[in-house]
């Protein structure tokens, strides 16, 4: 019970299974042997393109985006001492949306190759700007105040909505249509570069957050008790804040605003295991599984049309969350 090894191994297997499934299933079904051949660089060209250039990056990006969002949510919930905290609470989504839309309105999005680099960068810049603003509002004498952090996040998100509406009203409708699709979340733009970039963010996130697991455990007893248990409370909170924000910002930059993963997954994992070591690692894996499977649904349910993955996670997540809430009482 106290050793999370088996639980994590099971989740890793599930993640592998989800990736394999998303390689095989789609508007063009591919047999396992053909997929293997394509991965190895053999087989016909069309299959190779579908497996290696389209489905594999997409599945891996899904794994990483879901993992980053869920890990971010788990860290944020530990930081705020609130199991209902969501990574977007701290202004990441609003800031990222503002940054991206500003770039679109300025015409950076249509500049070909440049655009595919500029938009994620603009998104990341917007998210980090918002996070800084939230942090500024929540600092009291150099300390991050849990209560103020929530309020500050709500206010900055509201500000971001206002800026967003303003930009939408001044922008050219033909430019902003693509933005609305992005905002609903999509893995359609998955590339090898995006996978590498998010893999780096996720790895750094895990390396930084996992050693704090014991501190997060102690923080569940309140900041004062954690302090008297020898935990460097302010340090743990600051690292969690920066890491959670960066993870969510990187995920949003590459896949738009996909809701519910960061909120729901840690909640779910917490019911299956105890302790933040298992929770952080388990959330990362389970978030990946959830997103890869959601993406599979998003592109097959109304194939060949694709629905937004954000709509899928919300349609699955909201009822699931309500059920969890009812059971908890």
Partner 1 sequence: MTPLELRAVFAGYARGKDVLRDVSLTFAEGRVAALLGENGSGKSTLLKVLAGLLPPSRGTVLLRGRPISEVPRREAARQLGYLPQGFEPFFPATALDVVLLGRTPFLGAFSTPSRRDIAIARAALEEVDAAGLEERDVRSLSGGERQRVYLARALAGEPRVLLLDEPTASLDPRHRFLVLDVLRRLATRGVCCVFSTHEVDLAARTADDAVLLARGAVLGAGPVRQSVTERSISELFGVAACVTPLADGTPLVTLGAPPAVRDGGRG
The footprint of partner 1 (CB under 8 A) covers 2-3, 81-83, 211, 213-214, 217-218, 220-222, 224-225, 227-232, 270-271, 274-275, 277
CB-wise, 35 or 79, nearer to partner 1?
79
CB-wise, 140 or 301, nearer to partner 1?
140
Question: Residue-wise over 163-193: b if at least 16 C-beta within 10 A, else e?
Answer: bbeebeeebeeeebeebeebbbbbbbbbeee
- Distance, CA of 72 to CA of 263 (rounded, Å): 9
How far apart are CB 273 and partner 1 at their closest, in Å?
A: 10
Contact status, residue 185 vs residue 69, Cβ threshold 8 Å: no
How far apart are CB 211 and partner 1 at their closest, in Å?
A: 5
How far apart are CB 328 and partner 1 at their closest, in Å?
A: 9
* C-alpha gyration radius of the chain: 20
- Distance, CA of 112 to CA of 109 (rounded, Å): 7
The CB-based long-range contact list for 44-51 (8 Å cut-off, 24+ gap) reads: 50/26, 51/23
CB-wise, 254 or 277, nearer to partner 1?
277
How far apart are CB 217 and partner 1 at their closest, in Å?
A: 6
How far apart are CB 201 and partner 1 at their closest, in Å?
A: 22
Reported as type and span, the H/E element at residue 140 is strand 139-140
Whether the upstream peptide bond of residue 304 has omega within 30° of 0, thus cis, is yes
CB-wise, 133 or 240, nearer to partner 1?
240
CB-wise, 147 or 222, nearer to partner 1?
222
């Amino acid at each position: 019970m106290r050793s999370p090894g088996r639980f994590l191994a099971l989740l890793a297997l599930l993640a592998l299974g989800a990736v394999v499934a998303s390689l095989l299933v789609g508007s063009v079904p591919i047999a396992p042997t053909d997929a293997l051949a394509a991965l190895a660089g053999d087989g016909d060209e069309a299959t190779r393109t579908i497996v290696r250039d389209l489905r594999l990056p997409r599945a891996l990006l899904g794994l990483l985006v879901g993992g980053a969002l869920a890990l971010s949510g788990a860290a944020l919930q530990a930081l705020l001492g609130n199991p209902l905290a969501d990574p977007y609470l701290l202004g990441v989504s609003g800031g990222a949306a503002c940054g991206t839309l500003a770039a679109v309105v300025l015409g950076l999005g249509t500049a070909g190759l440049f655009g595919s680099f500029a938009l994620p960068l603009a998104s990341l810049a917007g998210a980090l700007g918002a996070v800084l603003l939230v942090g500024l509002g929540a600092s009291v004498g150099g300390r991050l105040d849990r209560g103020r952090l929530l309020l500050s996040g709500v206010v900055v998100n509201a500000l971001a909505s206002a800026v967003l509406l303003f930009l939408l009203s001044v922008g050219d409708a033909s430019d902003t249509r693509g933005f609305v699709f992005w905002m609903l979340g999509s893995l359609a733009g998955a590339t090898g570069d995006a996978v590498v970039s998010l893999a780096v963010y996720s790895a750094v996130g895990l390396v930084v957050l996992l050693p704090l697991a014991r501190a997060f455990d102690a923080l569940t007893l309140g900041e004062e008790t954690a302090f008297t248990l020898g935990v460097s409370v302010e340090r743990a909170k600051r690292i969690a804040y920066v890491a959670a924000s960066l993870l969510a910002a990187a995920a949003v930059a590459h896949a738009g605003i996909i809701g519910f993963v960061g909120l729901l997954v840690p909640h779910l994992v917490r019911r299956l295991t105890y302790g933040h070591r298992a929770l952080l690692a388990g959330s990362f894996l389970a978030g990946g599984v959830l997103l890869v499977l959601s993406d599979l649904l998003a592109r097959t349910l109304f194939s060949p049309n694709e629905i937004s993955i954000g709509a899928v996670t919300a349609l699955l997540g909201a009822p699931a969350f309500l059920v969890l809430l009812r059971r908890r009482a």
